Structure 1
Amino acid sequence: MNPGNGSTGAPARPAGAAGRATPAPESLHERVVHWFGEAARDLPWREPSCSPWGILVSEVMLQQTPVVRVLPVWREWLERWPSPAQLAAEPSGAAVRHWGRLGYPRRALRLHAAATAIVADHGGAVPATHDELLSLPGVGTYTAAAVAAFAFGRRETVVDTNIRRVHARLFGGSALPAPALTAAEMRRAVALLPADDALSVRWNAAVMELGAVICTARAPLCDACPVRDACAWVAAGRPAPEYVPKGQSWAGTDRQVRGAIVAVLRDADHPVPRALLMEAPVDLRMDGPATALSAPAGRPAALGTLHGLRAPGEQLERALAGLLADGLAEETERGIRLPG
């Protein structure tokens, strides 16, 4: 059962830090939502005119990716594919090609698969309920709740990293939430959710925004926080985190090599010979068969970047094999290309 579809009565008072009175949820709702109304960033997927499809695309793109990088790609996608049917009508490789440099390009494949399912199973309209959204390929619990709330105004418990951090500090007195989402966190989020549908949507958006711009992980702006006086973490003297989050490595990883290979395929007009991906040629003027790559002055920057990594042959092979297995690339008689 989706935790957002609980009782419509008054929300229970969530548990706070030991030995400290917990503020009434109604007071927090009013203060945080009022702050949001005055301080919220002007983002296109928050506009009343934004379609459910636009909101679904934004939620997938924003996973592990900052807003500043998502904005231009989101706009380009919505201009090119303003509806699921228009994306579904193109090959999945087109989604990967126009994913740009957002990273984690499997998200592009998932959006394409979701668009295809929306057309096949929902008449081309993004479904409105949590369970229907959850049935779409690549749509998980968070995305289903977020789209149901923000696109259709439904009362859903939306819990992302920003919301978890605000809850951990405000009620738990901890600098950071647990490394992984816990059942206790979900119970607290359910208890905090306003009973009114419209207010619950605003609350979800407001707490998420508070975590994104004020209650940040590394440099929180506590003086600007609308609920600083109620914060258990501030009251405790802002203790240090109990653990150090492990950042995802990038340089030298298979993920970096995979991204560099995808960039080459994205810039290519035709299949790229496997040998060209596996070995850096002495002369990068792209004479001969390599002219299939379109780039200014005959020198493909993406190929130069790939070769500049100086990745060992076995890593290149492993990265390419992973791309082929994941459906992010396909091999033809002429070479490697994005999926057709």
Structure 2
Amino acid sequence: MTAGSVEAERNAALLGWYRANQRVLPWRATTDPYAVLVAETMLQQTQAARVVPYYQSFLARFPDVTALAAAPFAAVAAAWSGLGYNRRARWLHRAAQRIAAAGWPDTVAGLEALPGVGGYTARAVAVFAFGHRDVTPDTNLKRVLSRWYGEPLAGSTLRRVGLAALDEDAASWNQAVMDLGNAICRPYDPACDRCPVERWCTGPDVYQRPATQSPFPGSVRQVRGVIVRLLIGGPLDETAFAAATNRFPTDQVEEALDGLIEDGLVVETEDGFAIAD
């Protein structure tokens, strides 16, 4: 059996499984680059099920890139509040302002030049909105392909192998790999007995699991979220700010606040702090 026939047979089995089992997610029903960019930004480090209501309410509030670009950042932060990693909202807002002024880039390099847009997000927008034939190198793709080919894959090697495995229908193939990784080719408990492509896979042992993230409760990330939610309600002077955050250790509050200011989410005022414009 030739390498090409292996890829063709595996892709046929994968896409057949995907058509019968794909997750119904609202951003998959559109090729609007703005909606795709919003979704992919929200999906960074956040589970899809948690993103869905935020995505829907965000697009209802800011239906296109012009509306988002014209909005004050405080309104954007309010719509984002509760989703976490609030710097993503700042990056998305800045990206929208650049797009509103200069138009949509339709190349991966042009998309990567937007604020906060990395290689994965740029390729996701290029594939799902602009129809490029490329791979979207998320953690699912890395895990699934590493197991298929029997070696840990990353970086340029992952992309090279992915492009060789890619189906002509790049958008469906990338979504199929994501869903396979989510439902069957899981990092800790893979359901190999239910996998539609098991016969073309070397097995689950080769995959190197990433380190787990520190718990959210009691972390600086939690304090950052609390500060953003406080300041969405309006500026606070230093006395009111200290009173509102005194349940957290002082060093955590200072680290969180410094990070928010450095990320452009919060600004110092004459007597306290406020959400940035």
Query: Is this a same-fold pair by TM over 0.5?
Result: yes
1:265-315 per-residue CA deviation (whole Å, 9 max, x = no partner) reads 23x1x2122222223xxxxxxxxxxxxxxxxxxxxxxx5xx54xx322233
- Equivalent residue for 2:114, pick from 136, 139, 146: 136
- Equivalent residue for 1:231, pick from 198, 201, 212: 201
- The letter of the residue matching 1:264 is L
Judged with a 3 Å threshold, the aligned counterparts in structure 2 of structure 1 residues 183 and 13 are, in CA distance, closer, same or farther, namely: farther
1:176-226 per-residue CA deviation (whole Å, 9 max, x = no partner) reads x46xx33322221121123x3xx1222111111111222111222222211
1:42-53 equivalence runs, <5 A = 42-48=24-30, 51-53=32-34
Indicate the residue corresponding to 1:323 in structure 2: 260
Matched, 1:113 2:83: no
The structural deviation recorded for 1:327 is: 1.1
The structural deviation recorded for 1:334 is: 5.3
1:301-340 equivalence runs, <5 A = 303=244, 306-307=245-246, 310-333=247-270, 335-340=272-277
Matched, 1:182 2:155: yes
Indicate the residue corresponding to 1:31 in structure 2: 13
**Contact 1:45–1:54 at 8 Å: present in 2 too?**
yes
- When Rg is computed on C-alpha atoms for both structures, the one with the higher figure is 1
Indicate the residue corresponding to 1:84 in structure 2: 65
Q: Equivalent pairs: percent with the same residue?
A: 40
Name the Cα RMSD after superposition: 2.2
**Contact 1:97–1:338 at 8 Å: present in 2 too?**
no
How far apart in 1 are the matches of 2:265 and 2:116? 15
**Contact 2:223–2:256 at 8 Å: present in 1 too?**
yes
How far apart in 2 are the matches of 1:274 and 1:93? 19
- The letter of the residue matching 1:184 is T
The structural deviation recorded for 1:139 is: 1.1
- The letter of the residue matching 1:121 is A
Indicate the residue corresponding to 2:127 in structure 1: 149
The structural deviation recorded for 1:85 is: 0.6
**Contact 1:271–1:334 at 8 Å: present in 2 too?**
no
1:55-98 per-residue CA deviation (whole Å, 9 max, x = no partner) reads 11001100110011111110011111111110110122222221
1:1-340 equivalence runs, <5 A = 13=3, 24-48=6-30, 51-122=32-103, 126-172=104-150, 177=152, 181-194=154-167, 196=168, 199-233=169-203, 238-239=204-205, 245-266=211-232, 268=233, 270-279=234-243, 303=244, 306-307=245-246, 310-333=247-270, 335-340=272-277
State the SS of the aligned residue for 1:336: strand
Q: If each structure's helix is expressed as a fraction of its own residues, which one has the higher value?
A: 2
The structural deviation recorded for 1:247 is: 2.4
**Contact 1:278–1:317 at 8 Å: present in 2 too?**
no
How far apart in 1 are the matches of 2:181 and 2:86? 26
- The letter of the residue matching 1:333 is E
The structural deviation recorded for 1:254 is: 2.1
Q: TM-score, normalised by structure 2?
A: 0.91
State the SS of the aligned residue for 1:330: strand
State the SS of the aligned residue for 2:80: coil
Judged with a 3 Å threshold, the aligned counterparts in structure 2 of structure 1 residues 186 and 248 are, in CA distance, closer, same or farther, namely: farther
How far apart in 2 are the matches of 1:204 and 1:164? 12
Count matched residues: 276
**Contact 1:265–1:272 at 8 Å: present in 2 too?**
yes
The structural deviation recorded for 1:240 is: 7.7
1:139-177 per-residue CA deviation (whole Å, 9 max, x = no partner) reads 1111111111111211112211011111111221x6xx4
State the SS of the aligned residue for 2:273: strand
The structural deviation recorded for 1:241 is: 5.8
**Contact 1:62–1:70 at 8 Å: present in 2 too?**
yes
How far apart in 1 are the matches of 2:21 and 2:174? 15
Q: TM-score, normalised by structure 1?
A: 0.75
The structural deviation recorded for 1:322 is: 2.0
How far apart in 2 are the matches of 1:157 and 1:244? 21
Gaps of 5+ in 1: 1-11, 15-22, 280-302
